[in-house]
Structure 1
Amino acid sequence: MPTVVLFICVSVFLIIGGSSLQGFLNQILNWVTSNMGWGYMWIYIINFLFFVYLMLSKYGNIRLGEPDDKPVYKNFQWGSMVFATAIDASILMLSMVDPLMYVQHPEGSVKPYSATAYNLAHMYGQYDWGPMAWLMFAAPTIAIGYMMYNKKRKIQSLSDA
């Protein structure tokens, strides 16, 4: 219920704010995207280092499930399912948005909507779907899996984990 109330309050605020609020929010977005790119990269780097630590520490030996349990799927099958589920929602939501963004606002001195912008747009979009982006799904997956299979709690929400 609190989520619904918060959603309604924010929606009303955004509707009433109109174009003046849109201009203000665009300024914030432009500042964040222009000045905080290093912060996004550090989030990915810290996340990657966290998983290296997990893998090499005593926590890397924790199995999800009972000690005698055999894996239901082979590594390739499991990896394929993880890949498919992690990427499908992102592709459905952003497969058209990312290339259009890169065509409209290409990197460097490339002219928007030029042939070069179109060539770069399909290439830059590939960086959004790489392993670093998949790492962002891994931490909550580990937390939920540990709580479900090792602590025997019937959850499927990160907030419960």
Structure 2
Amino acid sequence: MLLSIDIHDFLPIEKEVYCIVAGEEQPVKKKLVLVFDDFERCKIGVIDLLGIINTYVEDKRIKTIVIASEDNIEDEENYKTFKEKVVERTVKLDMEYRRIQQEMIEDYKTETSEYKEFLKKESPKLFQVFEESGSRNLRTFKSCLIDFERVYGLWHSLKLPTDGMGEAL
């Protein structure tokens, strides 16, 4: 019994916290909201993690948000069983990937305006490949834009014919 450890003893989390607010002389008490991001990647077991979250929600009455890719949770059976008891509301996000990708290209910071114009011209191919890949990872899409910019620069510096560059992308 002397060796039992409770994680809550080391992380005293209260429902309200003091915050420094611009224009205020003294710290102001604000309600705390806990956010557990990338739930599916956590190395703590699903039952233990949902138990910890339940302690914050039920016992301490702390607003808590869990962000998870439910399709990627390994212990799906236990997750579904215990989620019912802990999670009050589930909001599923259905992203408009095409619109987000267009905005990513529009907002892309590049060394040359030519590369951005190239991306705009080739965007239908980019969108098609992304869609056909079945990937829903926009970080991968952005990485492709960044990685190909180096190829684009080298292609131009070597003065290669540009007619096949869209296919290379």
TM-score, normalisation: structure 2: 0.24
| Structure number having the greater helix percentage | 1
Task: State the structure with more CA Rg.
Answer: 2
Q: Which protein has the bigger strand share?
A: 2
